[in-house]
Amino acid sequence: MEKNEEIILKGIPLSTGIAIGKLFLFNPQEVKVVPKIIESIEEEIQNFYETLKSTETELILIRENVSQKINEEKAKIFDVQILILQDPTLHEKVKDKILTQKLNWDFAFFEVMNEIHKSFLEVEEKNLRERAIDIHDVKIRVLRQNPNFIRKNLEIPEQAIVLAETLTPTDLIHLVEKNVAGFVTASGGINSHLAIIARTLGIPSILGSGKIFSQVYDDFLFSTVILDGRNGIFILDPTQTTVDYYREEKEKFEATKIQTIKKHFLQATTKGGISIDLRLNLSFENEFGFVEELNTQGVGLFRSEHLLFQRLEYPNEDLQFSVYRKLAENCFPFSARIRTFDVGGEKMIGNLQVPAQNNPCLGWRGIRISLEMQELFRTQLRAILKASYFGKLEIMLPMLTNLDEFLQAKEIIENVKNELEAEGYKIDRNIKTGVMIEVPSAAITADLLAKYCDFFSIGTNDLTQYVLAVDRNNNLVSNLYNPLHPSVLRLLKFVLEAGKKAKIPVNICGEIAGTLHIVPLLLGMGFDGLSVMPTSIPTVREVINQTNKKQLEKLAKKVFTLGSQTEIKKLLLEFSHKNLLVVS
Amino acid sequence: MKEICLKIKNQAGIHARPSALLVNLAAKFDCEVVLSNGHFDVNGKSILGVISLAIPYRGLLYVKANGKDEEKAIESISKLVTVDNFFE
């Protein structure tokens, strides 16, 4: 008999593909504790105190650990949690509830903590709202001590479809390691960190609406669900017919993907007279093989901060060195550009907590952190320079806003070079050092910076959001995020011309470099290189193979006469429909 | 009973860390410690209470102590707030 009660929900597609798997709820917002009839009030109260004590012991251990491995300052964060456990008013409230309502201690505690949590969230004072997270944490820690705790030892099944309201980069890495089949998340837009990683790794993902999250609860845990990243469909309790249908669709999808990819992975021809460096944006060690496999000219962006997200401890010099060396060897004879740690902003740092900031994208991030936390920066530079001997590495500085920062960084680099040579290491003394142009101030002064830098790489994702004052992860305004706004295009042109004048290469490493209808414009403008995620290589090859230089230059010229971003997009779409096969 | 009113010089106000220092200190005394922001009173030995006062930079903290070593309690808390400025 067929059940006929499948629930079909709709979200926004983030990463294409089909996944069929077991549902897993990550980071559940709430734990379930049920009220029970109790036998003895004294016993209940005693249990409560004993559990508080064992939680405290656990917390003191964590605190010591953090103090040793990170620093005392970070360890102090846990003092507040320890004090919450000892709080006499909290004890009174819980005891009172156990006594008057004859409730089991865990339910009484659960309710009291929820009330406090709520009262902290309601206030206007920001510092106070931030403490709500401590209250939540303590609640979970205490309840976890209870043997009846539901979430204890919950294992993620293989090929799970993970539903999570938010995922930090660290969570994401852990999940990727577990071979997750698909993601449904409630926050972050099409250009969020999660979406980019999911697309890079080919993990189907959708942005769920509130409706999806309100319909999915614990009962569906581990049940079979279907996620269609092509159109944002999410199906709970699918019938056998639906499962069979999607199995077939999945096979078809993957077969065509492989075919298209094979076709376009061949060396790009130069019959159209377009010569360009095609490079990769990579984040993980297991992607290094793509450089040769996809026939590219090296790595245009290695996001080194992923080394921080993947582990709890700061990656030491030896560990970093081994990764950078592997990168250099995999790319040779081409080069690999390592972007120094770019944390802060939407990208959180795993082990080193960057303090909460009102406006993180305008806050402490990228080169700003590196120049202040010089130990961290020097360790990274030592590892890069030591690895530079094994291939061709380049250093790229993120979030640079002025020449002084560049000169300061350069001085540190020279310093580290001398230090390493004095220690007897062989290094590439002429290692190229360049700048990621992603802040308007750097773009506007590109001509001044060009005299000192060895290359520019334009990070159009950030540049666009800074120029347009649009947070690409804020669903209320993300529709205003548009890299084709004439202001952005003018800046790109200015930076390119500044680079050409100083005879340094100018690359683009934002997502537009892999967007089918925008690639012809970038090639027509005459950029020296594009750096894209592995799955976008076919897109760019398609443009190079199907068009010619003259045609593209004409197109670019036309774009710069237009004042409306809508018209620009229309023109580019028309061009790609006429001249290009649609790959993705 | 002893009472005193203190002005907060700490730029960030009485946030989590200063609250923890206050509570740890208050807990050492064998007397009742009541703190207030002028609107409501809390138990000075309760971290949740002290944090909820949310006293900002230049705000006022009212301290009341009642019991055996009330004098010593008031003296130590004043020192923490005005002299040591929460060691920040």
Residues of B catalogued as catalytic = 15
Rounded distance between C-alpha atoms, residue B66 and residue B74, angstroms:
10
Q: Where are the domains of chain A?
A: 7-28+153-256, 41-145, 262-579
Q: How confident is the model at residue B31 (pLDDT cuts 50, 70, 90)?
A: very high
Domain that includes residue B34, residue range: 2-87
What is the rounded end-to-end Cα distance, in angstroms, of chain B? 30
**Would you call B47 and A86 a contact, using CB atoms and an 8 Å cutoff?**
yes
Give, in degrees to the nearest 5, the angle at Cα A80 between A77 and A86.
150
Helices (H), A400-512: 403-422, 440-444, 446-449, 460-468, 486-501
Contact A23, A160 (CB under 8 A): yes
- Residue A463 structure tokens: 């540049």
What does the pLDDT look like over A139-159, one tens digit per residue? 888 887 776 554 434 577 788
Q: Which residues of A touch B56 (CB under 8 A)?
A: 125
Q: Kindly report the CATH number assigned to the domain that includes residue B28.
A: 3.30.1340.10
A interface with B, Cβ–Cβ < 8 A, is 76-77, 79-80, 83-84, 86-90, 116, 119-120, 123, 125, 127-128, 131, 134-135
CA A108 to the chain's CA centroid: 39
The answer to whether domain A7-28+153-256 and domain A262-579 are alike in fold is no
Q: Which residues of A touch B51 (CB under 8 A)?
A: 80, 128, 131
- Residue A507 structure tokens: 């690359």
Min Cα separation B52/chain A (Å): 7
Q: What is the pTM of this model?
A: 0.56
**Would you call A89 and B51 a contact, using CB atoms and an 8 Å cutoff?**
no
Helix/strand/coil for A137: helix
Select from B19, B24, B43 the Cβ nearest to the Cβ of A88: B43
Contact B41, B34 (CB under 8 A): yes
Give, in degrees to the nearest 5, the angle at Cα A173 between A169 and A177.
165
Beta-carbon contacts of residue A250 (< 8 Å; ≥ 6 apart): A17, A18, A19, A20
**Token pair 């993705």: residue:** A584
Distances (CA, A) of A188 to A110, A291, A467, A475, A477: 30, 29, 20, 8, 12
**Would you call B48 and A79 a contact, using CB atoms and an 8 Å cutoff?**
no
Q: Which residues of A touch B54 (CB under 8 A)?
A: 123, 125, 127-128
Rounded distance between C-alpha atoms, residue A370 and residue A433, angstroms:
15
Min Cα separation B16/chain A (Å): 7
Looking at domain A41-145, its CATH architecture is Orthogonal Bundle (1.10)
**Would you call B46 and A123 a contact, using CB atoms and an 8 Å cutoff?**
no
Q: Nearest chain B residue to A123 by CA: give it.
A: B52
Which residues does chain A have with pLDDT short of 50?
1-3, 28-29, 150-153, 346-347, 350, 582-584
Residues 35-74 of B with CB under 8 A from A: 42-43, 45-49, 51-52, 54, 56
pLDDT of residue A95: 94
DSSP conformation letters of B3-34: EEEEE---TT-S-HHHHHHHHHHHTTSSEEEE
**Where is A66: in which H helix or E strand?**
helix A41-69
E strand map for A321-368: 335-339
Rounded distance between C-alpha atoms, residue B47 and residue A82, angstroms:
10
pLDDT of residue A394: 98
CA A545 to the chain's CA centroid: 32
Contact A226, A18 (CB under 8 A): yes
pLDDT of residue A449: 97
Cis peptide leading into residue A333 (ω within 30°): yes
Q: Nearest chain B residue to A91 by CA: give it.
A: B46
pLDDT of residue A48: 93
Looking at domain A262-579, does it have CATH number 3.40.190.10? no
* Structural domain count, chain B: 1
The catalytic position among A136, A306, A485, A509 is: A509
* Of A184, A206, A146, A235, residue with least CA distance to A27: A184
Residue A485 is which amino acid? H
Rounded distance between C-alpha atoms, residue A349 and residue A169, angstroms:
8
Mean pLDDT, range B9-13, rounded to an integer: 85
Helix/strand/coil for A459: coil
Q: Which residues of B touch A87 (CB under 8 A)?
A: 46-49
Contact A391, A428 (CB under 8 A): no
- Residue A437 structure tokens: 């142009």
The catalytic position among A117, A136, A193, A264 is: A193
Q: What is the DSSP letter of A337?
A: E
Burial (Cβ within 10 Å: 0-12, 13-18, ≥19) of residue A497: middle
Contact A15, A253 (CB under 8 A): no
Q: Which residues of B touch A119 (CB under 8 A)?
A: 52
* Of A293, A378, A308, residue with least CA distance to A349: A308
Q: Which residues of B touch A128 (CB under 8 A)?
A: 51-52, 54
E strand map for A26-173: 160-164
Class of A7-28+153-256 in CATH = alpha beta
Average pLDDT, chain B: 92
DSSP conformation letters of A6-59: -EEEE-EEEE-SEEEEEEEE-S-S-------B-S-HHHHHHHHHHHHHHHHHHH
